[in-house]
Structure 1
Amino acid sequence: MCAVFGFLDYKGKTSNAVLKKLIHYLSVAAEVRGTDATGIAYVRDGSMVTYKKPKPSHKVKLFFPRGTRSVIGHTRFTTQGSEKRNCNNHPFEGHCGTEAFALAHNGVLYNDRELRREQHLPTTPIETDSYIAVQLLEQGQQLDTENIKRMAGLVEGSFVFTILRNDNTLFLVKGNNPLTLYHFPALGLYVYASTKSILDNALKKVKLNGKYSEVDVSEGEIVKMSSSGNLHKSTFTMQDYIHTMFNPYNWNYLNYAKWWEANEREELLLEYCGTFGVSEEEVELLLEVGYDPDEIEELLMDTAAMEEAINEAKTLLQCEA
């Protein structure tokens, strides 16, 4: 469980101060899905710049210079590769021919070692499963939709990829993990985050003028947004888990990873719920009556809904007693 977030400011109407505030509140809201590391990437004078730290976002000052038109961000919940080695944290940089890019991933990939062998990819000090996506893209001469489609069709697991090219073209690649994208047409601004609650929570703190609409992004779609704001969608075919499930080692790894992630997500909620004014006992109460981590994460973003859920849970347990 991690989170991705960011923006594309294709008209340049929104001030740098407001965009910085937007990224700050997006990153803080995204802590509910990961506190192990925080990072962003942006384009400066045609070059990619990444900044990341093995710290929760509320302890990191995220800077980007005036004139920055697009930022991709990530808050990390570690599953593979220690966050204390900063090279394991997102976003990752890569190159396709003369093009540079940065990539951030939300999810878990299960066939990274297999792909490294099959595709004869070089060894790397980066231990994170997500980095296989960068290596696959680097096999191409261009960072374009066809190259991304090939990569997305090779990896197995859960994913949303966000990819920023050094001409400020932004790609959103939706697998089976959540993603919400808003468009402010009057401002010339796209804003995205892993979940609607993260996005809405941040926008409550940042007053953006103008109406917005949600852009539908379906599983198996690649959304390409150019630096001028043109949006184009294409599709890819996701790998299924058939051969993974019938390989005893991979099947055990897959199921263990899912079990481990679910338990770690509960621990993360218990660790971080106090930031939202909710006690560990109240989170445990919701877990006990059947709420899953995703549902509790949504409730943390809505104080009134959280209070109602806690009261209902208390009433339910009293009735059972």
Structure 2
Amino acid sequence: MCGIWGISDMGEDITRQTLANIIKKLMMLAEVRGKDASGIAVMQEDKLCVLRKAKASHELLNDVEFVRYLEENILESDSSNIWIMGHSRLVTNGTQYNPKNNQPVSKENMAIVHNGIIVNEDELWIHLPEHTRECEVDSEVILETFRKKYRESRDAKSASDETYSNLNGMASTILMMQEGHHMIAATNNGSLYECHSKDGKLRIFASERLMLEKLILTTPELKKLISEKSITQLAMGKSVVMSDAYTGEVSDIEIIQDSPTENHSPNLSKINYSKYEIDFDRIRKIKRCSKCVLPETMPFIEFDRDGVCNYCRGYRKMSYMGKAELDKWNDDFHKNNKTAMISFSGGRDSSYGLHYFVKEMGIKPVAYCYDWGMVTDLARRNQSRMCEKLGIEFILVSADLKKKRNNIKKNVEAWLRKPSLGMVPIFMAGDKQYYYYANKVMGDYKLDTTLMATNPLEKTYFKFGFCGVKPDILKEKFKKLDFERLPASDVLKMSGYYVNQFVGNPAYINSSIIDTATATASYYVIPHNYFRLYEYIPWDEELVDKTLISEYGWELANDTETTWRIGDGTAPFYNYIYCMVAGFTENDTLRSNQIREGMLDRDKALELVYRDNKERFDSMRWYFDVIGVNMEDTLKIVSEIPKRYE
């Protein structure tokens, strides 16, 4: 989830200025994986010094205290042996405004940088009754488990290996310990790489191979010492230990950090949610299709004399290439030693897709995720579970989450001034750069194939229908559900709708507009040449849920029974809007597609629709907290919008 790196310099013939330059480059290379906070630790002879701040790496580089830290600990150091490690943080558990939650996490005579999420953290703490918990991040439990194991064995490698054998969830770490002067690197999913000089005196670690390749390529002094051919992936569960012969006294860890910052959330007061509940008694009275469950409030819907809607009449059932063709494709993939990346959001379909590609097809892809600020901690924990259990390297590209969330805030506040159902998707525009970065990761890592497990039955129709764009399913040329993207003519029509909305509501013309434009280009312009699992075999919801829960302990949300969209931070809010105002959500279109495919009967579909359309206030509170919008004010405005079913 985060970016980590480390340097072990055991007397290599390299200037301190070159070492400082390497540190700065590694900080910037790691920043793509997290921009919420960053930090560094240096250990040499008698001292271990940690600096951590709630700043992105590029901001920390210009911080006065960091500049002084680099001078005192690197440029002016005369130590022959020196160890350095750093971290670029993507916040999961534990706010970055409590400095103890930022990394390197330090305690007594140890410090650690950690990439990943430990999902059995509470269980591990039970076995550490003598160890006091000081921060909210799961990295601390790794540090304390190692401390306990080391006290028992007095052997750094066995203590680290045993620690990793107790971890559930993805973890890659670099740990420093003053006692015995050790630096230890380890991973349980392959998200840690190493390169070294010929004599082994200089070793450099990083979360991704690409980070080391770029570092060597752009540092002439380093290129003389280290070859790209020396880059290797650390073996999973096998710790790499570096030590020296220093046996002198050590001083207490020096920690440089900011003071704690108060929570400035606009949603600290308790909200009486009952005032903003959806009136399902009235929604149950809405006329619906006699075959599917689409309501009369659906854009462009019409019913025939039998009460069947035009969406059902125009529907064409999915056709599949079949398992035999899938096996043929897979045989060719393996025969030609191809490589792959899987798009992995942490949602149920991408999670099952990862399982299927690894377990059923024998493919070992790299997992990729673009975090634009709305990937929830629940999704991240499920990503961690899957990657650790399947031994999959995880590449995360993190946007500037502060900027992204501020863009969402501006668009939500603009929408609240003049609510329109057709403009709701602008809240989600910032996620579409996902396609750009997917193609970029493919190119950077020289991979052959992007694997997708997108469910075609999730096609909603209504989001652009509320913009006045008639869905393909209602046109004569419609053949079957596609996976994404509108025809060019419909894109132009939808663009015209957006232009009119921007003119009528200038608040949309804000700093997010460039981000929205690039997202649109990423979605509609750049190539999407992906391998899609569900073009070959049918999607099976029961099988997906059963596999994820029984085999991986896949975590569910606490405010809904469905497994769909629980890792998407935006879905609870926009579905609340659609249901409150129009009486239906994405759940209605999904269940209607399942009915048409013969996967679900109408009575069961209605039962699931009413169950899953319930308000998810807990998840919405997270959403409003992270974007900085007052939740109660927003709910009040939404609840007062005229209903389409009145």
TM over 0.5: yes
- Of 172, 182, 196, which residue of structure 1 is paired with 2:185? 172
What residue in structure 1 maps to residue 243 of structure 2? Answer: 226
Is the Cα–Cα contact under 8 Å of residues 193 and 199 in structure 1 kept in the other structure?
yes
Work out the CA distance in 2 between the residues paired with 1:205 and 1:177: 25
- 2:105 pairs with 1:92: yes
Within a 5 Å distance, the mapping from 1:38-187 to structure 2 comes to: 38-61=38-61, 62=66, 63=70, 64-65=73-74, 66=77, 67=79, 69-95=82-108, 100-139=109-148, 140-141=150-151, 142=154, 144-166=156-178, 168-185=181-198
Question: 2 CA distance for matches of 1:169 and 1:254?
Answer: 34
3-state SS in 1 of match to 2:11: coil
Q: What stretches of structure 2 of length at least 5 have no aligned partner?
A: 246-376, 386-395, 405-428, 447-520, 530-646
Residue 19 of structure 2 aligns with which residue? 19
Identity, % of aligned positions: 21
TM superposition shift of 1:169 = 2.9
Question: Residues of 2 paired with 1:201 and 1:271: CA distance?
Answer: 26
- Is the contact between residue 42 and residue 85 of structure 2 (CA under 8 Å) also seen in structure 1? yes
Tell me which residue corresponds to 1:268. 399
Per-residue CA deviation, residues 23-79 of structure 1 (Å, 9 max, x unaligned), is 111011111001111111111432221111110011113412323611011111010
- Tell whether the 8 Å contact from 2:435 to 2:522 is kept in structure 1 after alignment: no
Tell me, yes or no, if structure 1 residue 257 matches structure 2 residue 381.
yes
Q: CA deviation at 1:84?
A: 0.9
5 Å-filtered alignment, 1:208-223, equals 208=222, 209-212=224-227, 213-223=230-240
SS of 1:35's equivalent in the other structure is coil
Cα separation, 2, equivalents of 1:188 and 1:59: 31
Contact 1:101 1:163 in 2 (8 A): yes
Checking the alignment, whether the CA contact within 8 Å between 1:174 and 1:220 is kept in structure 2 is yes
Return the offset for 1:168.
Answer: 4.5
Are the counterparts in 2 of residues 107 and 160 from structure 1 also a CA contact under 8 Å?
yes
Partner of 1:197: 210
Distance in 1 between the 2:433 and 2:379 partners?
24
Cα distance in 2, alignment partners of residues 153 and 131 from structure 1: 16
Per-residue CA distance 1:82-112 (angstroms, 9 max, x = gap): 11111111112245xxxx3321111001111
State the shift of 1:185 in Å.
Answer: 1.7
Question: What secondary structure does 2:231 align onto?
Answer: strand
Query: Secondary structure of the equivalent of 1:221?
Result: coil
One-letter amino acid of the counterpart of residue 381, structure 2: A
C-alpha separation in 2, matches of 1:87 and 1:15: 33
Q: Which has the higher Rg, Structure 1 or Structure 2?
A: 2
Structure with the greater relative contact order (CA < 8 A, sep ≥ 6): 1 or 2?
Answer: 1
Contact 1:159 1:177 survives alignment (8 Å): no
Shift of 1:268: 2.1
C-alpha separation in 1, matches of 2:166 and 2:378: 17
Distance in 2 of aligned mates of 1:50 and 1:85: 15
Q: Distance in 2 between matches of 1:118 and 1:69?
A: 34
130 and 298 in structure 1: CA distance in 2 versus 1, 3 angstrom threshold: farther
C-alpha contact 1:121 1:135 (8 A) present in aligned 2: no
Please, what TM-score do these two structures have when normalized by structure 1?
0.72
Q: Secondary structure at the match of 2:24?
A: helix
The CA distance in 2 between the partners of 1:10 and 1:54, in whole Å, is 31
Secondary structure of the 2:189 match is coil
- Counterpart contact for 1:32–1:297, Cα < 8 Å: no
Unaligned runs of 5+ in 1: 229-252, 274-281, 303-309
Instruction: Decide whether aligned partners of structure 1 residues 91 and 57 sit closer, same or farther in structure 2, where only a CA change above 3 A counts.
Output: same
Counterpart amino acid of 2:237?
A: G
Q: Greater CA deviation, 148-157 or 61-70?
A: 61-70
Deviations 1:195-242 (CA, angstroms, capped at 9, x unpaired): 0112222333322123421244221211122348xxxxxxxxxxxxxx
Deviations 1:173-193, CA, capped at 9 Å, x for gaps: 111141110011258311111
TM-score (norm 2): 0.38
Distance in 1 of aligned mates of 2:226 and 2:207: 21
Match of 2:525 among 300, 314, 318: 314
Asked if structure 1 preserves the Cα contact closer than 8 Å seen for 2:117 and 2:169, the reply is: yes
Comparing 80-89 and 6-15, the one that deviates more = 6-15
CA RMSD of aligned residues (A): 3.6
Describe the shift of the 1:108–1:189 C-alpha distance in structure 2 as closer, same or farther (beyond 3 A): same
Please state whether the residue corresponding to 1:109 is helix, strand or coil. Answer: coil
Q: Equivalent residue of 2:525, what SS?
A: helix
More strand by share: 1
Name the amino acid aligned to 1:219: M
Letter aligned with residue 210 of structure 1: L
List structure 1 runs of 4+ shifted beyond 6 angstroms: 269-273, 310-313
